[in-house]
């Protein structure tokens, strides 16, 4: 008997060693993804559009700043994008880099193509893959150009941010091909007409402002989308704050949709108001700076969605409260 156990143990130990050495020898992958043909401009209208997106609907400024500045950004200050925001999760410790044009610690030496590739394909300047925090893959060429033009126009700030580090889980995801560059799912457009229709609202909600990524239920471990679009139910733990948030249903279902009973004016006013709950992960501050046009378009888009019945009892829980199933 004993001998058999010994053998089984030995076989398992060998399998484990093989797996671990496979992961450790093959996680650090480089990807050969070509760079989009995007060139920064010095036209002031284009730079202004980029600035609007960065500090408003695309909310780059809620991550690419020092952690302790978060509240200032939420209040409306335009803090330089010198990086530092950090998130410690099971796959790794991720840090948003300095994206001011400093040559040593920022993006000064990266080409426009490298920056465009980071946003459209999630490939880092050194050809490794970025962890998927930035779902802007289908941004139009025009908006991508505007953002990069604005990044180039900033004053350089020297601030060295440590690189992100993958933990064993993240390395295993990478080794087994589960962490790869992203791709636009549809053909990317050169430009889009910015009116107040639901079509422009769709672009804002899905591509620019990422309402989709937070307001659709996802598997908390893998990030995979498992719920109906915009029907809410994504669980976001803010451990250090002792809080858990569950996103509400944004579809126009009369019983369970939070905005179903709001008219356009109420919707716009809610966005102008900013956060109600302290530590809400929703970038309310950035969104409160969206212009009237964009808020109207978003309203039209949400009103046009199919209604999905999905009751979200409550959106904020203290960590000692029991979460719903």
Q: Which residues bind ligand HEC (CB under 6 A)?
A: 54, 58-60, 62-64, 94, 96-97, 99, 115, 118-119, 124-125, 130-131, 133-134, 136, 147, 164, 205, 209-211, 214-215, 236, 245, 247-248, 250, 258-259, 270, 275-277, 280-282, 287, 298, 315
Residue 218: partners with Cβ closer than 8 Å, 6 or more residues away: 224, 225, 226, 227, 234
Judged by beta carbon, residue 23 or residue 271, the one nearer ligand HEC is: 271
Say if CB 212 and CB 203 are below 8 A apart: no
Judged by beta carbon, residue 7 or residue 109, the one nearer ligand HEC is: 109
Radius of gyration of the chain, Cα coordinates, nearest whole angstrom:
22
- CA separation for the pair 172, 222 (Å, rounded): 13
Q: Where are the beta strands (DSSP E) in the chain?
A: 86-89, 92-95, 165-166, 235-238, 243-246, 316-318
Judged by beta carbon, residue 184 or residue 281, the one nearer ligand HEC is: 281
Say if CB 153 and CB 146 are below 8 A apart: no
Give the pairing of strands 243-246 and 86-89.
unpaired
Compute φ and ψ for 26, nearest 5 degrees.
Answer: -125, 5
What minimum distance in Å lies between the beta carbon of 146 and ligand HEC? Answer: 10
- CA separation for the pair 194, 303 (Å, rounded): 18
Judged by beta carbon, residue 23 or residue 87, the one nearer ligand HEC is: 87
Starting at the earlier edge strand, list the strands of the sheet with 92-95: 86-89, 92-95, 165-166
What minimum distance in Å lies between the beta carbon of 122 and ligand HEC? Answer: 8
What minimum distance in Å lies between the beta carbon of 4 and ligand HEC? Answer: 45
- Quickly tell me which residue has 């919707």 as its tokens: 267
What minimum distance in Å lies between the beta carbon of 131 and ligand HEC? Answer: 4
Judged by beta carbon, residue 16 or residue 224, the one nearer ligand HEC is: 224
Scored b (16 or more CB within 10 A) or e, 178-206 reads ebbbbeeeeeebeebebebebebbbbbbb
Say if CB 213 and CB 249 are below 8 A apart: no
What minimum distance in Å lies between the beta carbon of 16 and ligand HEC? Answer: 27
What minimum distance in Å lies between the beta carbon of 14 and ligand HEC? Answer: 33
Judged by beta carbon, residue 99 or residue 173, the one nearer ligand HEC is: 99
Judged by beta carbon, residue 23 or residue 315, the one nearer ligand HEC is: 315
What minimum distance in Å lies between the beta carbon of 126 and ligand HEC? Answer: 7
Q: How buried is residue 278: exposed, middle or buried, by Cβ count under 10 Å (0-12/13-18/19+)? A: exposed
What minimum distance in Å lies between the beta carbon of 21 and ligand HEC? Answer: 24
What minimum distance in Å lies between the beta carbon of 248 and ligand HEC? Answer: 5
Judged by beta carbon, residue 17 or residue 285, the one nearer ligand HEC is: 285
- CA separation for the pair 55, 67 (Å, rounded): 16
Judged by beta carbon, residue 23 or residue 114, the one nearer ligand HEC is: 114
């Amino acid at each position: 008997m004993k001998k058999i156990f010994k053998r089984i143990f030995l076989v398992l130990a060998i399998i484990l060693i093989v797996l671990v050495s496979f992961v450790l020898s093959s996680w650090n992958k480089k990807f050969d993804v070509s760079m989009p043909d995007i060139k920064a401009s010095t036209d002031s209208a284009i730079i202004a559009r980029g600035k609007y997106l960065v500090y408003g609907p695309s909310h780059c400024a809620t991550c690419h700043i020092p952690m302790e500045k978060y509240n200032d950004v939420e209040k409306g200050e335009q803090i330089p994008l010198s990086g530092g925001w950090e998130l410690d999760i099971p796959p790794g410790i991720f840090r948003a880099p300095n994206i001011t044009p400093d040559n040593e610690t920022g993006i000064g030496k990266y080409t426009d193509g490298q920056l465009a590739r980071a946003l459209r394909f999630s490939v880092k300047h050194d050809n490794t893959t970025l962890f998927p925090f930035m779902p802007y893959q289908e941004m139009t060429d025009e908006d991508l150009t505007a953002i990069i033009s604005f990044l180039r126009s900033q004053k350089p700030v020297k601030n060295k941010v440590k690189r992100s580090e993958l933990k064993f889980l993240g390395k295993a995801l990478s080794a087994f091909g589960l962490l790869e560059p992203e791709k636009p799912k549809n053909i990317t457009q050169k430009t889009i007409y910015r009116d107040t229709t639901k079509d422009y609202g769709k672009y804002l909600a899905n591509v620019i402002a990422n309402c989709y990524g937070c307001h659709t239920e996802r598997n908390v471990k893998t990030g995979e989308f498992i719920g109906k679009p915009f029907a809410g139910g994504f669980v976001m733990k803010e451990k250090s704050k002792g809080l858990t948030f569950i996103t509400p249903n944004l579809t126009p279902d009369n019983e369970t949709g939070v905005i179903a009973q709001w008219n356009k004016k109420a919707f716009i006013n809610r966005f102008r108001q900013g956060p109600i709950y302290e530590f809400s992960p929703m970038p309310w501050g950035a969104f409160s700076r969206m212009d009237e046009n964009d808020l109207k378009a978003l309203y039209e888009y949400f009103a046009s969605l199919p209604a999905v019945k999905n009751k979200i009892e409550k959106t904020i829980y203290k960590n000692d409260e029991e979460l719903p199933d």
